[in-house]
Structure 1
Amino acid sequence: MRNQGQFILYFLLALLSACTNFSEAGNGTQAPNLARLILVDPSGKGNFTKIQDAIDAVPSNNSELVFIRVEPGTYREKLVVPADKPFITLSGKKASSTIVTGDDSGDIFGSPTVSVLASDFVGRYLTIQNTFGLGAKAVALRVSGDRVVFSACRITSHQDTLLDDVGRHYYRNCYIEGDVDFIFGNAASLFQKCHINSVSRGGGFITAQHRASPLENTGFVFLGCTITGLTNTFLGRPWGPYSRVIFALSYMSSAVLPQGWDDWGDSTKQRTAYYGQYECYGPGADTSKRVPWSRVLTGEEVSPLLTTDMVNQQSWFRNAPTIFN
């Protein structure tokens, strides 16, 4: 299985090649900096006072870029971006002042404050939170579309904060907080320069990746991230038997437990889960006491990730439009 380390990174290369034209997304004839503008303003000075009303105004089978600008405020809404409404950008001005909040719990598909089912979606400068609290599944954000980007967002809850469900996703400069399995799902996702913070009071889990088959090109890669916590936390545990997670060039505070990973009480998953670390630093990054079935990756194994345009966010990121119709 010597090449397995490269295999997880090659799936991200395929992901990248599929997304290199993401900034050109649209109907194929429209300039990428041209978009329809919809303004959401709780004071009543925009097109709508509620975000969901703005989303609902986008036609089914949408083929044009739509930029929904959300003015500062706290929006107590349960948002759904339907699968037949691609090419939407939802943008606040600052995550600290543009807050979408809910408090549902109990089901990972029913509780999310925000559910993105559409492809070619961009979320910018938003706080997305579920304030239910401890003791139940309470998702803040569900992402089930393909080619989805979140930039400079705050995503917070406790258990099951981010349902990174299916599709190819890029999270850049985001803050993600929770305590139990709070980044989970079966997407192929790159987290770049994100701050991952555990609020577990002891023995929490950051990731629960759900890859169920060796044929699935899914997994989570954390590149240049910061990992912190209140007390101590595991980097992850395998929700699916072939769970795959890599941390590369990331800072790990002392909140990261020395063993790093947990097998979720099923030792058979130790043979199939793929958990790796490359050139991380900080008091929690010491690999000498990691579980023996995790991997310390070599430069050769990670070079496909670190020497391609994967680290260039412009390959993924649709810039804000400058012309509106």
Structure 2
Amino acid sequence: MLRRMIHGLGALVVVPAILVGVAGTASEAATTLTVASDGTATYRTVQAAVNAVPANNASRVTITIKAGTYRESVIIPSNKPYITLEGLGSSAAATVIVNNKPASTAGTTGSATVYVQAKEFYGKNLTFSNDYDEAANGSSQALALALYGDRARLGNVRVIADQDTLLIYNSARAYVWSSYIEGTVDFIYGNGSAVFYACQIYEKRSTGGYLTAANTPATQTYGFLIYKSTITGATSNVTYLGRPWGAAGQVTVRESSLSATIKIAQPWTDMSGNAWQNARFYEYKNTGAGATINSNRAQLTDAQAASYTPQKYLAGTDGWNPAG
């Protein structure tokens, strides 16, 4: 992985409605715009619909996207908050926004198929994909989704790429539930705070890789929480839970099912001169063939675990609680 040029499908778990985090934001569905690549809606591309949203909108704008494949790059600028992208297909796999730009030519955020700069973004029932093929074209970051806006929500989505699939940056907070995330190297990364609840996380490379690369500032208590999720991979004993992009990187994996893909003896490793032992990497009550307790796998006590909940990770200074 190029470290780090930051420039500016199995069944999914059904989560009760109380957990989708729709309360306390701008009015839902105050405006609806429609997209269909076949011309049966108002707009043919997702970006065209985003462009039609008024700057500095103060209420929710839902952009519904007809099932199909939309090969484009989408940027949601910082002055267009409260945008929802909603796939209308029968599953998240039915509506796909995809491109294949690598960071080697487009830059980090330039490679992102969808780059969200605005706060209060909500993605639901669709796929974000970057199908740049590292094996065929050479190693490069190639993001499917970059979240730079605070208080982002992703429900029943698929986020798929090779290297650096999902970037959560700019100290943004994100709540991701009932979703599927796939990659090869550092495919959940950044300096934001994020919760992944009831998600499926898949290491697609047979030689393994690193699920997370947290760059959590030392002054920030929370980085990434993988909670009641399932981690699987293509082969056994080859996948790290993560490595510290920043020396104080913070990741907690708790009450999750870890398959045999996890490197059971030592699931954390060094990165860019940062020792994993000095990072804030924790586990709690994980299960499965890839779960165990040893000196390389710091475990939270029950008392400590009370401070590593979805609510704690996302509260910030404004009390945001999309998890219910």
In structure 2, the partner of 1:77 is 72
Alignment CA distance shift 1:278-1:131 (3 Å): same
Instruction: With a CA cutoff of 8 Å and minimum separation of 6, indicate the structure with the bigger relative contact order.
Output: 1
- The within-5 A match list for 1:4-153 is 23-26=23-26, 32-93=27-88, 94-105=91-102, 106=104, 107-134=107-134, 135-153=139-157
CA contact (8 A) 2:245 2:272 kept: no
Give me the whole-angstrom Cα distance separating, in 2, the residues matched to 1:66 and 1:271: 45
Does residue 207 of structure 1 match 2:202?
A: no
Alignment CA distance shift 1:47-1:162 (3 Å): same
Instruction: Report the TM-score, using the length of structure 1 for normalisation.
Output: 0.83
In structure 1, the partner of 2:255 is 249
Shift of 1:218: 3.9
Shift of 1:228: 0.3
- The within-5 A match list for 1:273-312 is 273-288=279-294, 291=296, 294-306=297-309
Give me the whole-angstrom Cα distance separating, in 2, the residues matched to 1:24 and 1:248: 27
In structure 1, the partner of 2:162 is 158
Shift of 1:62: 1.0
CA contact (8 A) 1:188 1:217 kept: no
Alignment CA distance shift 1:136-1:307 (3 Å): closer
For structure 1, the residue ranges without an aligned partner over 5 or more in a row are: 1-19, 27-31, 319-325
- Post-superposition CA distance 1:196-222 (Å, at most 9, x none): 0001222410000012x4212440000
Instruction: Report the TM-score, using the length of structure 2 for normalisation.
Output: 0.83
Counterpart AA for 1:77: E
CA contact (8 A) 1:222 1:250 kept: yes
State the number of aligned residues. Answer: 287
Secondary structure at the counterpart of residue 182 of structure 1: strand
Q: Percent identity?
A: 33
Secondary structure at the counterpart of residue 54 of structure 1: helix
In structure 2, the partner of 1:4 is none
CA contact (8 A) 2:268 2:276 kept: no
Alignment CA distance shift 1:45-1:265 (3 Å): closer
In structure 2, the partner of 1:13 is none
Shift of 1:45: 1.8
Give me the whole-angstrom Cα distance separating, in 1, the residues matched to 2:323 and 2:126: 16
- Post-superposition CA distance 1:206-242 (Å, at most 9, x none): 000012x421244000000100001221000000000
Counterpart AA for 2:205: S
